[in-house]
Amino acid sequence: MKYYKLNLATLPDDLYDKAVPVKEWLKLVTSVEGRFPPNSLNQVVPLDSQVENERIVGITLYMLGNVIPFLVPLLVAASLVSDIGWACLKVFLIYFGSLFLINRFYYMPIFIKRYKRKDDLSDTDILDNQYLYTERNSQKYLSTQFVWPESLHRPLVEQSKTKPLDRPMIFCTIPHGAAPLGITAYPIWSKLFNNRLCHWTCAPVVLKLPIISKYMKQIGYVPAKSRHILDTLQKKEDNVGIILDGIAGMFQSHDEVAHVKARKGIVKIALRAGAPLVPVYGFGHTSLWKVVVDPFGILERLSVKLDVSITPFFGRFGWFLGPPQRAAVCMCLGEPVECPKIAEPTQEDIDKYHKQLLDNYRALFEQHKEAYGWGDRELQFV
């Protein structure tokens, strides 16, 4: 079988634009029969120092933005009862404020000009918003590559008379890791495989956070609830992306363990919508941060129950909630699971296509693990 690869880190910046037709991207695609050579998918590309420093500041700022609604009230409460609490609050505000000012008034003007972007995101044009300069820089920082089989290669699918191209798909990605940065190459999901805008899902609580929620909605995020996913597939007729192992996947740092055995809800949704399930493995996701896992699993159980992470993690330079390591990320897509449209799927139907999804994950992992330098690793499902 033939496999195709697009290296986003080396994609010319002038091609990273909504107006550029997909055929220009396809000209840069390479392919192989069988497997890619060993260690060919884990290469870290040399990086412009401005891009690197912007991501060091920008990703750290984003991570802090996710915890501010929970952390600041605690620090304020602590400041009311002790001098240490007051000192911690001041240090945090100075730290966060400094990163914000550097990002907003130094890096933002530089990259908006470099990538010819607008100052603000549109309230209506989600597709254009997905070409964020921040995520473009993330693709370079992480040396991001995409790999897919010929069954998803657009020129071949366009010639097929049996598989319609322009239909909504569900991209099911594992593992989550501390943060699944590979999915943030948003235009790829909306343009490379079909002409459908891709809406990624997230925990509903995230879309209620101040500041962060507006930004995420503007690039197309929807709550990870069946009603919203079905509406996206059937009413909007758009693609959907989901991190299948969710919060539980954050606690598998440096292990290839996927919490997907019980994740059957997305299969039921796919059957009701008649949408194909595309397995995606984010090679490198578990290498970006070191997650602190307590030996009793208390933080994991609380995080899963609350549907939001409350576990600490460390990034590059040992930085708490800091930037990720400069490890290569390779998003590998596997054979899609073709789901027939069934208004009320039975448990037998759901189990059947869920098994196919897990089988396709395992085949995908085995196909590309040596090319990523992980020939000795095994994918485990729990």
The chain-wide mean pLDDT, for the chain, equals 92
pLDDT at 246: 83
Tokens 């037709």 -> residue: 21
- One-letter amino acid of 28: L
pLDDT of 295 over the 90 cut: no
State the pLDDT confidence band at 306, using cuts at 50, 70 and 90: low
The pLDDT, as a whole number, for residue 210 is 78
More confident call, 297 vs 90: 90
| Residue-level pLDDT at 371 | 98
* Distance of alpha carbon 323 from alpha carbon 153, whole angstroms: 33
Looking at residue 310, its pLDDT comes to: 66
Calculate mean pLDDT across residues 108-120: 93
Which of 108, 115, 142 has the alpha carbon at shortest distance from 8? 142
Contact yes or no for 328/243 (Cβ under 8 A): no
Helix (H, G, I), strand (E, B), or coil: what is residue 177? coil
Which of 210 and 183 is assigned the larger pLDDT?
A: 183
pLDDT, mean of residues 138-164:
87
The two three-digit tokens of residue 64, written as one number: 């802090």
In this prediction, residue 303 carries a pLDDT of: 66
Q: Could you say which DSSP state residue 152 is in?
A: G
Q: Taking residues 109-115, report their average pLDDT.
A: 96
For the segment 360-369, what is each residue's pLDDT rounded down to a tens digit?
Answer: 999 999 999 9
> In this structure, what DSSP letter does residue 45 have?
P
Distance CA 309, CA 177 (A): 11
Q: pLDDT class for 162, splitting at 50, 70, 90?
A: low
Q: Strand (E) positions, the chain?
A: 2-7, 30-33, 145-149, 170-174, 198-202, 222-223, 239-243, 257-258, 277-283, 290-291, 313-314, 330-333, 380-381
What's the chain's Rg over C-alpha atoms?
21
Q: Does the structure show a pLDDT above 70 at 304?
A: no
364 vs 151: CA distance, rounded Å: 13
Q: How confident is the model at residue 205 (pLDDT cuts 50, 70, 90)?
A: confident
pTM summary value: 0.94
Q: By mean pLDDT, which of 19-28, 61-70, 213-222, 307-316 is the weakest? A: 307-316
Amino acid found at 329: V
- pLDDT above 70 covers a percentage of the chain that reads 92
Span 2-11, mean pLDDT? 97
Q: What is the arithmetic mean of pLDDT over 68-93? A: 92
pLDDT at 253 over 60: no
